[in-house]
Structure 1
Amino acid sequence: MRVLLWHVHGSWTTAFVQGEHEYLVPVLPDRPADGRGRAQTWDWPASVRELGPAELRRAFDDEGVDAVVLQRPHEARLLREWTGRRAGRDVPTVYLEHDAPGGPAAATRHPLADVDVAAEGHVPIVHVTQFNALMWDTGPARTAVIEHGIPDPGHRYTGERERVAAVVNEPVRRWRAAGTDVLLQVARQAPAEVYGMGTALLAEHLSPLGPTAAGAADRLYDLPQAELHDRLAGARVYLHPYRWTSLGLALLEAMALGLPVLALPVTAAYAAVPPEAGVLSADPDELAAVARRWLADPSEAAAHGKVAREHVLTHYPLDRFLDRWTTLLTQEVSP
């Protein structure tokens, strides 16, 4: 199949494009959010082609595109403007929802819940966790759940550094949702490393919290994925501080590397982190206490990390993820 999708979520797309299909990703000058093209920091296969709007229209006209995966509401408009096709009417389309609802937790209406099928066509909504499917109000729209699958990065864990590592993109802008305050509370009590986009902005919030947290200001990194995996594998513990997120792929990747996990017991974390793989607690001080214990006991940390890796490889395998997406897209193309 030939599938069009925008490069929105790097880790998810890295897994998705490992399938057997041809993938078209829009590209624009300077690679803004609506035209990032191929990943610059992930290793994507040759089956991923980046095309500008004019090239996309020719691809639809001359080669044909079998299916479209939308991930943001305005992409339906871009599809119509760039190719002349209407999502779900002129080309089979699904909408992938990465996130839990951002408004009132149990009452937020999904942007595609009330699409005029007669005018625009049928676009089912695909969630990445059962929790998301439960929380979004999708009205009469048809929904499905395809949970994450990740490429196995290999067991790289050494735990050589007595550090708690966390991956939080834009930790200042996404403060409470990302649990940045939780991260800072743990960093006040245990040495921490923070990775992700926009982490430099966190430095000014660390120094007032005391010498332990201030030390983390010298350990703020924004790294390509391959480098990130190698760096994470050297930390003793992984902290997933998010209050309100779908299910961070960085969490699953850290577990696959073999890191033991500390996280809040919210959203889909209960399914992703079994008790043998780590500790879930709503008390940041408890998370910090466990972190200190694991920093002092590398064998206990490694034992939890071993289970974490086994759990991820069993419950989030890449081949099952790709098979489910192929089945779904095939059904939409040939209902």
Structure 2
Amino acid sequence: MRILLWHVHGSWTTAFVRGPHTYVVPVTPGRGPDGLGRAATFDWPASVVELPPDRLGEAGIDLVVVQRPHEPALVRRWLGLRPGTDVPAVYLEHNAPGGPVPDTRHPAADRPELTVVHVTHFNRLMWDCGTTPTTVIEHGIVDPGPLWTGRLERAAVVVNEPLRRGRTTGTDLLPYFSEAAPLDVFGMGTDGLAGRLGVPAERCNGQELVQSALHREMAERRVYLHPVRWTSLGLSLLEAMHLGMPVVALATTEVAEAVPARAGVVSNRPELLRDAIRDFIADPARARETGRAARAAALARYGLQRFLDDWEYLIKEVTR
């Protein structure tokens, strides 16, 4: 089967393209947002094929995975097909709703020819999709392995654009948590983070790394901190659990379901999270034990094969 999708979410796509199909990603001159092509910083198999828009119409596409509101129009323009009518299609929604939650209408609401696929049950609950059929396929992670050493008495945080996104990603909480342990914040747009937050650089260091190096660096830190107030379910959180890291996280959106009690400390009380960071830093044996439990929980719920099996079932349902 030949599946068309855009390169929108590199980490999610890295798991999705491990399936048994050919995955066609548009590529445009300059590799802009609608034509990034193959990933440069993620490990994608040879089954991911780049095609320019003028060749998509002859590619024999069997299924379209739409991820952004304007992509159905691109399918009509580039392939001459109406997604959901002329070619099977699903709308993959990565995000929790913004705006007037819980009354936010989904861009694909009242489109019975489509299926909206949510990545968490929380998102499905919060989005108003009207009469459009919905389902949930939870994340799957390409297992990086149990790399945790915890040798550095520091906490890892992974968030992209923390300064631009501000309170959404809990950036304002980082100075408070840096009192418990130095923070290494990994992700795009983290340069100059300490200065903008008014904390010493040694207490809050920003770095941007490719995924393979990121996992190794995360695993050197004693604990993983997830300070995000509002997001779907950060894949970096699930990756940290796969690495065998103990987790300290705000109990927002889907986190309370994703992180069982044995895997870390989840709370909406910042003082409890600050104390939990201190405790894990001071007790590497407890951090190791908690991290092992986090890895076991992540493998059981967010393993790659379960994810691919769920997608295979849905693909057969919408293309039959």
Please say whether Structure 1 and Structure 2 have the same fold, judged by a TM-score greater than 0.5: yes
| SS of aligned partner of 1:199 | coil
How far 1:30 moved relative to its partner? 2.1
SS of residue paired to 2:163:
coil
For residue 290 of structure 2, give the secondary structure of its aligned residue in structure 1.
Answer: helix
1:133-162 CA distance string (max 9 Å, x none): 000011111001000111111100000110
Give the CA deviation at 1:317.
1.2
- TM-superposed CA distance for 1:184, in Å, is 2.9
Deviation at 1:36, TM superposition (A): 1.1
Shift of 1:201: 4.7
Query: What SS class does the counterpart of residue 270 from structure 1 fall into?
Result: helix
1:310 and 1:109 map into 2 onto residues whose CA distance is 36
Distance of 1:151 and 1:192 partners within structure 2: 26
**2:56 is paired with a residue of what secondary structure?**
helix
Q: Which of 202, 212, 226 is residue 215 of structure 1 equivalent to?
A: 202
Q: Distance in 2 between matches of 1:256 and 1:35?
A: 31
User: Which ranges in structure 1 are unaligned for 5 or more consecutive residues?
Assistant: none
> In the aligned structure 1, how far is the partner of 2:288 from the partner of 2:180?
21
Aligned residues: 320
Q: Which residue of 1 aligns with 2:45?
A: 45
Q: Which residue of 2 aligns with 1:69?
A: 65
What is the letter of the counterpart of residue 187 of structure 1? S
Structure 1 residue 24 corresponds to structure 2 residue 20: no
Greater CA deviation, 160-169 or 181-190? 181-190
For the 8 Å contact 2:181–2:203, the answer to whether it is kept is no
Q: Distance in 2 between matches of 1:216 and 1:124?
A: 46
Q: Does 1:314 align with 2:318?
A: no
Per-residue CA deviation, residues 294-333 of structure 1 (Å, 9 max, x unaligned), is 1111111111100000000001111111111111111111
> 2:31 is matched by which residue type in structure 1?
R
Distance 2:132 2:192 in 1: 40
- 2:256 is matched with 270
Q: Report the TM-score, using the length of structure 1 for normalisation.
A: 0.93
TM-score, scaled to structure 2: 0.97
Q: Distance in 2 between matches of 1:275 and 1:56?
A: 48
Runs of 4+ in 1 over 4 A off after TM superposition: none
- Alpha-carbon distance in 1 for matches of 2:274, 2:173: 10
Instruction: Return the offset for 1:250.
Output: 0.5
Counterpart position of 2:187: 196
Equivalent residue, structure 1, for 2:86: 90
Aligned to 1:242: 228
The amino acid across from 2:221 in the alignment is: A
Q: Is the 8 A contact 1:172 1:201 kept in 2?
A: no
Is the 2:153–2:181 contact (alpha carbons within 8 Å) kept by the matching residues of 1? no
CA distance in 2, matches of 1:9, 1:65: 21
Q: What is the distance in 1 between the residues matched to 2:99 and 2:145? A: 38
Cα distance in 1 for partners of 2:319, 2:166 equals 41
The one-letter code matched in structure 2 to 1:55 is R
